[in-house]
Amino acid sequence: MNLPPSVRTQLSWLLEQEIADMDALASLLREESQLLLAREPERLEQLLEAKSIRVSELASLDRRREELFHTLGVEGDSSEVAQALDTLFPSSGLGELWSRLVSLAEGCRQLNRINSATVEIGQLHLSQALQILRGGRAGDTLYGADGERTGDRTTTRLLGQA
């Protein structure tokens, strides 16, 4: 397939832009992790807005790249895409750019999983603290596996009541 240089240039620009945005997202995710641990909700709210904007930008770039991939007939898993790019555009470095983007995306997924786990643990601790304040024990559950209330301790004395 004899492709015009503009296709290679456009694809290179898209991949480089996605890499830059994905790298910026990774930085935001690392900062989010620090803010979650430091429990700084005001700064976290600002960061989440920036993260949302970055994700929207990445989604837009992804759509454009996928349209170009479709036009070129490039599909498959990440290694097949890298191989197809190297075949279509020899010595262009597009396969390497693609592999770098895939690696950054996986790093962002891992950072996001860690941040999600941090939030879940924080929610569990908050739930346990509230349960104690309501007069229950930290391990008490409000609902069983079947979705029914178990060990209803909400009617017990609140902490601080005589």
Rounded mean pLDDT for each run of 10 residues along the chain, 162 residues in total: 72 94 94 84 87 95 91 82 85 90 95 80 66 66 62 50 52
- The CA distance from 33 to 111, in Å, is 8
pLDDT at 144: 63
* 88 in any annotated domain: yes
Q: Give the pLDDT of residue 89.
A: 84
Residues 158 and 135: beta-carbon distance below 8 Å: yes
Has residue 71 been placed in a domain? Answer: yes
The pLDDT, as a whole number, for residue 59 is: 96
Residues belonging to the chain: 162
Q: How does 118-144 read in b/e, with b if 16+ C-beta sit within 10 Å? A: eeeeeeeeeeeeebeebbbeeebeeee
* Residue 150 resides in a domain: no
* 129 within a domain of the structure (yes/no): no
Number of structural domains found in the chain: 1
Residue that the structure tokens 């456009």 belong to: 10
